[in-house]
């Protein structure tokens, strides 16, 4: 299928041989966002996003993601947020509890305010829940209109650097030459391995169970995170009387739950979900994903850069994986566009080093924080439980410290790329 854009032809297959400025391997949120951000700010740069998944594969993704306030500003600057916001559910409040599965009551140890101040003097929720399908479709639509060439159903199989270009081979056998190859191909990135970039990695022996549930009563925009002995059980509000669940269990228990009869599964779910919102029923397919920590030791090589989960895979306990990836996309786009405006070669290590210095500390820091939180809360030790509950209570009584947590959750902390401030590159 061929679509016409304002700048160049957008199609689902490349020609037998072509030369482009930037090739992005991976057509998920981060890959698409990076490609769109570059092309939107520098229309003269040719950008391809290559995704091995078929065009319709996104229809099977029934998950939803928490989009932090800063990422919402970026999507707004790219011209996407207004349409997405219609079906996005603002998170107006968040509560944190620490209990056992069988506890009759769950004491609330930490609450977050429903709004935060911004520079304009207005208020905004610190995050919105957006369904994954809607987000990808919006990014694809923007890619098509701003001239990004999308290649669906054909992945990057390998590459080698020769002189001033990266010679890229697709799974179909087709060849592309590019000034820069961006690997946004996920936490098990094959391109990262081909580039010889090592990682720090350890599994948690946990799986994250995800699904959408319907309930009788409205959630009022409140998110809840229940710290249970096996791991966090997060309830995230969606439009209508629906919520998205991110339910952490040990790998054996997660596999046992997924193999259950649906009625028994819902009984297990209700034990953890509680009855405040009335009867609960599973509305989507139940899926589970292995959890672990993966941090790339380096983010760059000559003509090559990592972004998103290919650079860092963290525990979902803080809900920051996607937002870290959006920060990568914004920082990478700013690095590339500003280097191009100065007449520099966008694929050299000297140019890409700015991106690496910008993003690596932030992602390592978040990886360490989520690792510590998971180890601290995913256990049934009564002494540790008492200590952490006192700590949560202290945080709840210190507005300044709580503000730091809100800034982190909304992706406002640290040096921000312009897009995350809502500014054009």
Complete domains list, the chain, with CATH: 2-61+131-201+292-377 (3.50.50.60)
Match 């920590």 to its residue by tokens. Answer: 293
Give Cα 32 distance to the centre of its chain.
12
CA angle 171, 176, 180 (to 5 degrees): 110
> What are the two backbone dihedrals, phi and then psi, of residue 46, each rounded to the nearest 5 degrees?
-85, 130
Written as one string, the DSSP assignment of 19-85 is: EEEEEEE--SHHHHHHHHHHHHH-TTS-EEEEESS-GGGGGG---EEEEEHHHHHHHHHTT-HHHHH
Mean per-residue pLDDT for 298-308?
98
Q: Given this model, what pLDDT does residue 369 score? A: 87
**Rounded CA gap, 36 and 419, in Å?**
12
Mean of pLDDT values over 79-106: 86
Distance from C-alpha of 116 to C-alpha of 67, rounded to nearest angstrom: 15
What is the rounded average pLDDT of the residues 125-134?
A: 92
CA-to-CA distance for 200 and 209, rounded, in angstroms?
24
In whole angstroms, give the CA distance from residue 2 to residue 94: 45
Q: What is the mean pLDDT of residues 240-262?
A: 96
Which of 134-148, 195-209, 354-368, 384-398 is the least confident region?
A: 384-398
- In order, the DSSP letters of 224-247 are EEEEETTEEEEEEEETTTEEEEEE
Count of H helices and E strands in the chain? 11, 24
Which residues pair with residue 112 across a beta bridge?
94
Q: Is the pLDDT of residue 328 over 60?
A: yes
Q: For residue range 168-200, what is the model confidence (pLDDT) as tens digits?
A: 999 999 999 999 999 999 999 999 999 999 999
**What is the Cα–Cα distance from 118 to 127, expressed in whole angstroms?**
13
How far apart are the C-alpha atoms of 299 and 183, rounded to whole Å?
Answer: 10
pLDDT average, residue stretch 69-97: 94
* pLDDT level of residue 400 (50, 70, 90 thresholds): low
Burial class of residue 86 in the structure, from the number of CB atoms within 10 Å of its CB (0-12 exposed, 13-18 middle, 19+ buried): exposed
pLDDT in tens, 338-352: 999 999 999 999 999
What's the mean pLDDT in 399-417? 62
What DSSP state is assigned to residue 164?
A: T
Q: Do you know the residue count of the chain?
A: 425
Q: What residue spans of 227-297 are helical by DSSP H? A: 251-258, 262-273
Q: Which residues pair with 93 in a beta bridge?
A: 222
Reduced to 3 states, what is the DSSP secondary structure of residue 259?
coil
Q: What pLDDT does residue 319 have?
A: 83
pLDDT of residue 405: 59
Lowest model confidence (mean pLDDT) among 36-50, 311-325, 398-412:
398-412
pLDDT value of residue 5: 37
Q: What is the DSSP string of 149-208?
A: EEEES--EEEEEEETTEEEEEETTS-EEEEEEEEE---TT-HHHHHTT--EEEEEEEEEE
The pLDDT of residue 15 is: 44
- pLDDT one-digit tens code per residue, 271-300: 999 999 999 999 999 999 999 999 999 999
What is the value of pTM for the model shown? 0.89
- The pLDDT confidence band at residue 378, using thresholds 50, 70 and 90, is confident
C-alpha 303/C-alpha 318 separation (Å) is 33
Mean pLDDT of the chain, nearest integer: 88
Give the pair of three-digit tokens for residue 84.
Answer: 């997405």
CA distances from 179 to 35, 47, 163, 332 (A): 14, 10, 10, 14
Report the range of poorest mean pLDDT among 78-92, 150-164, 329-343, 393-407.
393-407
Backbone angles phi, psi at 417, to 5 degrees: -60, 155
Predicted confidence at residue 35, as pLDDT, reads 98
pLDDT of residue 187: 96
Q: How far is the CA of 134 from the CAs of 62, 90, 98, 152, 165, in angstroms?
A: 10, 15, 33, 18, 35
């Amino acid at each position: 299928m061929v679509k016409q854009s304002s700048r160049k032809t957008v199609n689902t297959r490349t020609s037998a041989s072509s030369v482009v400025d930037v090739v992005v391997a991976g057509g998920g949120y981060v890959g698409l966002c990076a490609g769109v951000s570059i092309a939107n700010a520098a229309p003269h740069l040719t950008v391809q996003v290559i995704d091995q998944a078929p065009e319709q594969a996104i229809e099977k993704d029934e998950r939803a993601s928490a989009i932090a306030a800063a990422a919402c500003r970026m999507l707004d600057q790219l011209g996407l947020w207004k349409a997405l916001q219609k079906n996005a559910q603002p998170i107006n409040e968040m509560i944190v509890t620490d209990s056992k599965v069988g506890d009759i009551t769950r004491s609330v140890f930490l609450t977050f305010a429903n709004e935060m101040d911004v520079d304009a003097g207005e208020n905004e929720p610190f995050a919105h829940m957006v369904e994954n399908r809607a987000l990808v479709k919006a990014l694809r639509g923007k890619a098509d209109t701003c001239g990004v060439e999308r290649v669906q159903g054909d992945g990057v199989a390998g590459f080698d650097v020769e002189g001033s270009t990266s010679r890229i081979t697709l799974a179909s056998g087709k060849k592309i030459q590019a000034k820069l190859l961006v690997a946004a191909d996920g936490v098990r990135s094959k391109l990262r391995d081909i580039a010889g970039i090592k990682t720090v990695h350890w599994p948690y022996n946990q799986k994250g169970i995800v699904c959408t549930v319907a309930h009788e009563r409205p959630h009022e925009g409140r998110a809840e995170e229940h710290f249970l002995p096996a791991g966090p059980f997060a309830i995230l509000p969606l439009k209508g009387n629906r919520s998205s669940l991110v339910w952490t269990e040990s790998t054996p228990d997660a596999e046992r739950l997924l193999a259950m009869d649906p009625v028994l599964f819902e009984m297990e779910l209700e034990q953890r979900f509680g009855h405040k919102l009335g009867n609960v029923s599973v509305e989507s397919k139940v899926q589970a994903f292995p959890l672990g920590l993966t941090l790339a030791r380096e983010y760059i090589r000559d003509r090559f850069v990592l972004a998103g989960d290919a650079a860092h895979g963290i525990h979902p306990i803080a809900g920051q994986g996607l937002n870290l990836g959006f920060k990568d996309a914004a920082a990478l786009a700013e690095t590339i566009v500003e280097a191009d405006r100065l007449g520099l070669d966008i694929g050299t290590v000297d140019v890409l080093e700015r991106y690496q210095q910008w993003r690596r500390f932030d992602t390592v820091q978040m990886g360490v924080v989520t690792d510590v939180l998971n180890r601290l809360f995913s256990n049934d030790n009564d002494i540790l439980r008492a200590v952490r509950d006192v700590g949560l209570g202290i945080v709840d009584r210190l507005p300044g410290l709580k503000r730091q947590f809100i800034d982190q959750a909304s992706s406002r902390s640290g040096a921000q790329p312009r897009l995350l401030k809502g500014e054009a590159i």
